[in-house]
A and B are shown apart, each in its own frame.
Chain A
């Protein structure tokens, strides 16, 4: 064999080895795809725009820091106008064009609709805008992640705060007559009973209803110490508070996550003063030591970002951490393994998105803080420490 032949064979072998290792390397560093059915228009657009911005920024920060263990995170959103059929169509489109590992859905209805398909595919973990209590079931929904406390847990956090502030207090629950609004009612009643609180006043309001004076009259008769609103963003909360105050009631009013955006509460005007509620995350403007993620967000966007933004950001962060755990464990990137990666998240430092280290419990992160609106500062300010539900 001539020296040229040997050189040729060696070169060929090296080249083949190089190509193979390159291909293997490329395979190792395959993109992680985060698909999203995002409500950029329609009735939930106020949140969808923020969610989109939060996911986009979190993705950029992760990629700027080398991706997830070297894998680039790719975010593929589609607008859904908050319609389940459009969300499902977006899911089908995105999953047919990309090898999706993570997915963000826009509603409880979508999560419940698409969950069997996600389980069947076995390739991804699904998160989204829903904090529905029903989804917090690892057996029934083995590939779901709720980026915060469930609605029942949110009410639980408020009731824990109330029980400390005024033991035996009379608490009213006003909820919208929607799937979203009805979600925590039974759980809230059970928690109130456990905590020795009187929650005999439950009021539901019809969707699209305008006048709430009938419901306020019920509150006037019951004279609760606290009223918790759930299932609303803004209306009819201000009208409730306004009429209750005009009647001379001293009741304190509270809300859950989707009615806790600072700019939205600010739109209530003077009646916002003293409005309380539960928020799983810090606000954009929160001052906290050692909060590099909050600082980073503020450096990227110099104007206030909504609670929906924080939700989108936190979801992306947690899903990425789950993928990181899966890769580190040397496991295949599929739904069950990524979900197992989520379950491994214990005392995770969110860089200030949440003020204390967080752990995943079941499908959710049952932690939150009670805030109260300060009209003079025009800000929601902390009214409690972080409350963990165990």
Chain B
């Protein structure tokens, strides 16, 4: 059974849901462009539960995908008020998959200079500690209490 069948909503609705959470903007891709729905659903269920996800999605109207961004946001926020745990799980899974995707990390690197390589083994240069910064703190009187 596919994720679509599992919850009785269409792939189009799933994509609309993802585009609502992280829309496309300029050269920044939407969540729908990089996230596999099956992967998303598996992660959301692991973070929440199938029943709760079904209840959450059941609050969305059949024409959800045809609504505009602000209308879809409004509906998701309403659903999140009733089932905040599920909205949090959906966001967590969406952000986790989106911000682990190589294409997205590449864009972040281009825009910020961040290195998308793993932190190890290269790390970053360890600058020496500059003790001159302590010129003021070093002059303070002791600030611990002797209990005796």
Q: Does A associate with B in a complex?
A: no
